[in-house]
Amino acid sequence: MSKVYAAFLNCEAAIRRTIAKYCPQPADVDELTHETFLKCFAAERKADIREPERLLLFAAKNVALSEIKKKRNTTTDYIEDAPYSTDIVDRNQHDPEQHLNSRRKLAAFTIIIAQLSEDDRKILLMRKIDGMKYSQIATRMNISVSTVQKRLAASLTKCTQNMIATGYTPDEFGGKADSPKPDQAAAETSKTEWNADND
């Protein structure tokens, strides 16, 4: 398990309290808590985190503060109110709803891979983030190519199960940003479908 994730589990309540202190809207607390975790987990890829709990709380405060700043800006100038608004719309800009969904998914997936063992996570991310070949990973980790494949298969099984448990359906896995987030009921039905898969 990743150091940051272990610390996150330990002090999630404190992180939520920190965020709630700055952001009075309870609906945002979930998102910002996940954002806090994502940032610290990303930081863990870059350096050894000596005091993950303190870093998480520090990040929570920063995330909450920058959210307030963003909120203030959006409440003061509405882009639709600006004249010639159609001209300023950035075509490459993501729909905020889409962005939120993909962010939520990233947080969910990150929490899932954070639970893998140190080596398994390393191997998976070498493949998925760094795009390394199995043979390169094998050399780096000093294991055989077939062990790399076996470890990846084991991680994949775990991750799939956890994705479903978190409410993500295989159709959503595909990760097209515009696929709507299904409500809880839809997730439930798909889960039962698979459960019925028996011989």
CA quadruple 117, 103, 32, 165: dihedral sign? negative
- Of the ranges 12-20, 37-45, 70-78, 93-101, which one interacts with another protein (CB under 8 A)? 37-45
Residue closer to another protein (CB basis): 29 or 126: 126
Token readout for 126 is 């070498």
Q: Cβ neighbours of residue 154 under 8 Å, at least 6 residues apart?
A: 120
Segment 118 to 157, residues that bind another protein, using CB under 8 A: 124-125, 127-129, 133-135, 145, 149-150, 152-154, 156-157
- 180: nearest Cα among 101, 90, 70: 101
CA quadruple 34, 40, 44, 48: dihedral sign? negative
What phi, psi does 13 have (nearest 5°)?
-60, -40
How far is 54 from 196, CA to CA, in rounded Å? 45
At residue 45, the 3 state secondary structure works out as helix
- Site residue total, another protein (CB under 8 A): 58
Residue closer to another protein (CB basis): 73 or 86: 73
Residue closer to another protein (CB basis): 79 or 165: 165
| Least distance CB 197 / another protein (angstroms) | 6
How far is 32 from 37, CA to CA, in rounded Å? 9
Residue with tokens 């990303």: 42
Residues 153-192 vs another protein: string with x where CB under 8 A? xx-xx-xxx-x----x-xxxxxx-----------------
Instruction: Give yes or no for residue 114 binding another protein (CB under 8 A).
Output: no
Instruction: Give yes or no for residue 41 binding another protein (CB under 8 A).
Output: yes
Task: Give contact residues for another protein (rule: CB under 8 A).
Answer: 38-43, 45-47, 49-51, 54-55, 58-59, 62-63, 66, 102, 105-106, 109-110, 113, 124-125, 127-129, 133-135, 145, 149-150, 152-154, 156-157, 159-161, 163, 168, 170-175, 194-199
